Amino acid sequence: MTENQQTTSAKWQEELRDAFKSPAELLDFIGLDAKSAPFLLELSSDFPFLVTRTFARRMARNNWHDPLLAQVLPLKVENDKKPGFGSDPVGDLNALSADSLLHKYQSRVLHLPTPACAIHCRYCFRRHFPATHTSHQKGLPTAAHEYLNKHSNIDEVILSGGDPLMLSDDHFEQLFLELAAIPSIVRIRIHTRIPIVLPSRIHSRFLDLLNHYSQRFTWIWVIHCNHPSELSADVCQTMQLLRQASHLLFNQSVLLRGVNDSADILEQLSLRLIQMGVIPYYLHQLDKVDGAAHFEVPESIGASIMESLRQRLPGYMVPKYVREEAGKPFKTPL
Ligand SMILES: *Cc1c(COP(=O)(O)O)cnc(C)c1O
Ligand code: SF4
């Protein structure tokens, strides 16, 4: 490793240590006063506050309604119980097949290598997911290994979480080595919000590690961006690196009230993504997780937003509007 690469691989961890860990700190940074906000939630420790500085820098100053702030700000309304909402909205716990593996969809399996994230999104459907079902060891747990070897119809491993890019490079080195030894696995898909919230994580040494396997695996990224203001220059640069390495790039968004529930915003998002070489893949109807009900957009409104997008945009810029249903082996188109 060159000295320069060492610096870059440590930089993201430093940035993470430096992230905002309380609403008051972040609000102060963007010119707002937590004390004048009786609607803020006193945080409990099970889903603490976490926002990186690079993400915070994209928020407007002095605006309680900023769409990026809305995604991370803990509100008292989270405590309101709403019928139909629960702690495991998509049936994750029933689909657990082997330590850290979630096998719900036929040919592909989710591996959850870590419960950690670089940001805590208040609408997250895994906000109550027990961390004990994610792997904490280097590489694949033995049971997961056996499962993949036995089920040769599985040709794609989706790294999910948490955010899989929270793992260290050493962990990835081991994981890719082990996956490469399973002949049926030909694609690795990375579901991550880190290119948006902590782009420095994708430094050159990490990319080299992936590109080492470019003959063995097709690399597919599904990033998670909800609003065009999230796409800052550092994010663009990172996506450019991935494009240069011929990785396939997609985005998924969650339809969120007060964030992106408008055709104008989603149109801008698609245009910006395509400009960066990222294909809009899914627009998710909110999963009904406790604490996120205030983000819900009725499906009828979602459908009319989709109609506008279809009128305005080329087909490849229109994401699929879908809902995840417990126990169903594919996403339901809406
Ligand atoms: C969404 C999802 C996948 C991947 O679905 P694709 O339609 O292939 O993008 C796989 N497993 C689970 C449990 C999922 O929720
Ligand atoms: S898993 Fe994704 S949506 Fe959930 S908190 Fe982490 S980054 Fe946000």
Q: How far is the CA of 48 from the centre of ligand 2 (A)?
A: 12
Going from the Cα of 118 to the center of ligand 2, the distance in angstroms, rounded, reads 8
What is the per-residue pLDDT for 136? 64
Nearest CA to ligand 2 atom 8: 121
Distance of CA 153 to the CA centre of its chain: 26
- Output 129 or 182, whichever has higher pLDDT: 182
Centre of ligand 1 from the C-alpha of residue 95, in Å: 12
- 88, with CB counted inside 10 A (0-12, 13-18, 19+), is middle
Q: Tell how far the Cα of 101 is from the centroid of ligand 2, in angstroms.
A: 18
- Give dist(CA 121, CA 332) in Å, integer: 23
Q: For 4-31, what is the mean pLDDT?
A: 88
CB of 222 within 6 A of ligand 1: the answer is no
Give the highest mean pLDDT range of 76-80, 224-228, 323-327.
Answer: 224-228
Query: What's the half-sphere exposure (Cβ side, CA atoms, 13 Å) at 303?
Result: 5
Distance from C-alpha of 125 to C-alpha of 227, rounded to nearest angstrom: 18
Q: How confident is the model at residue 98 (pLDDT cuts 50, 70, 90)?
A: confident
How do strand 187-192 and strand 156-159 relate by DSSP bridges?
A: parallel
Cβ atoms of residues 166 and 206 within 8 Å: no
Rounded mean pLDDT, 182-203: 98
- Tell whether ligand 1 has an atom less than 6 A from the beta carbon of residue 331: yes
Nearest ligand by distance to the CA of 90: 1
- Which pLDDT score, from 0 to 100, does residue 9 have? 64
209-257 pLDDT, tens digit per residue, is: 999 999 999 999 999 999 999 999 999 999 999 999 999 999 999 999 9
Give residue 46's pLDDT. 75
Stronger pLDDT, 92 or 306, i.e. the higher one: 306
Mean pLDDT, all residues of the chain: 94
Do residues 112 and 100 touch, judged by C-beta distance below 8 A? yes
Confidence bin at 285 (pLDDT 50/70/90) = very high
What percent of the chain stands above pLDDT 70?
A: 97
User: On the CB side of 269, how many CA atoms lie within 13 Å of its CA?
Assistant: 30
Q: Does the CB atom of residue 112 touch ligand 1 within 6 A? A: no
For the record, the structure tokens of 86 come out as 């629960």
Ligand 1 nearest atom to the CA of residue 92, by list position: 13
Q: Specify whether the CB–CB gap between 118 and 163 falls below 8 A.
A: yes
pTM of the model: 0.96
Beta strands in 202-278 (DSSP E): 218-224, 248-254
- What does the pLDDT look like over 31-40, one tens digit per residue? 999 999 999 9
Position 1 scores a pLDDT of 47
The ligand that comes nearest to the alpha carbon of residue 111 is 1
As to burial, measured by CB atoms within 10 angstroms (0-12 exposed, 13-18 middle, 19+ buried), residue 250 is middle
* CA–CA separation, 317 and 334 (whole Å): 17
> In this predicted structure, what is the pLDDT of residue 100?
83
Cα→Cα distances 113→165, 215, 333, Å? 9, 24, 28
Determine which residue's CA is closest to atom 13 belonging to ligand 1: 104
Tell me which of 105, 111, 192, 285 to substitute to probe ligand 1's pocket, judged by most ligand atoms within 8 Å of the beta carbon: 105
Count of C-beta atoms within a 10 Å radius of residue 237: 13
Query: Does the C-beta of 105 come closer than 6 Å to ligand 1?
Result: yes
Q: Whose CA is nearest to atom 3 of ligand 2?
A: 124
Ligand 2 centroid to residue 193 C-alpha, Å: 7
Q: Would you state the pLDDT for residue 126?
A: 85
- How far apart are the C-alpha atoms of 295 and 287, rounded to whole Å? 10
Is it true that the peptide bond before 31 is cis, omega within 30 degrees of 0?
A: no
- Of 8-17, 84-93, 96-105, 133-142, the poorest mean pLDDT is in 133-142
- How close is the Cα of 309 to the center of ligand 2, in Å? 26
- Tell me whether the omega of the peptide bond preceding residue 162 falls within 30 degrees of 0, making it cis: yes
Pocket of ligand 2 (CB under 6 A): 117, 119-121, 124, 126, 161-163, 193, 224
Instruction: Return the ligand number nearest the Cα of 319.
Output: 1
Confidence check: pLDDT of 137 > 80: no
pLDDT tens-digit series, residues 2-11 = 545 555 668 9
Neighbours of 268 (CB within 10 A): 16
Sign of the dihedral defined by the CA atoms of residues 13, 15, 17, 19, in that order: negative
Which has the minimum average pLDDT: 38-52, 71-85, 127-141?
A: 127-141
Q: Is 296 in the pocket of ligand 1 (CB under 6 A)?
A: no
Q: Is 138 helix (H, G, I), strand (E, B) or coil?
A: coil
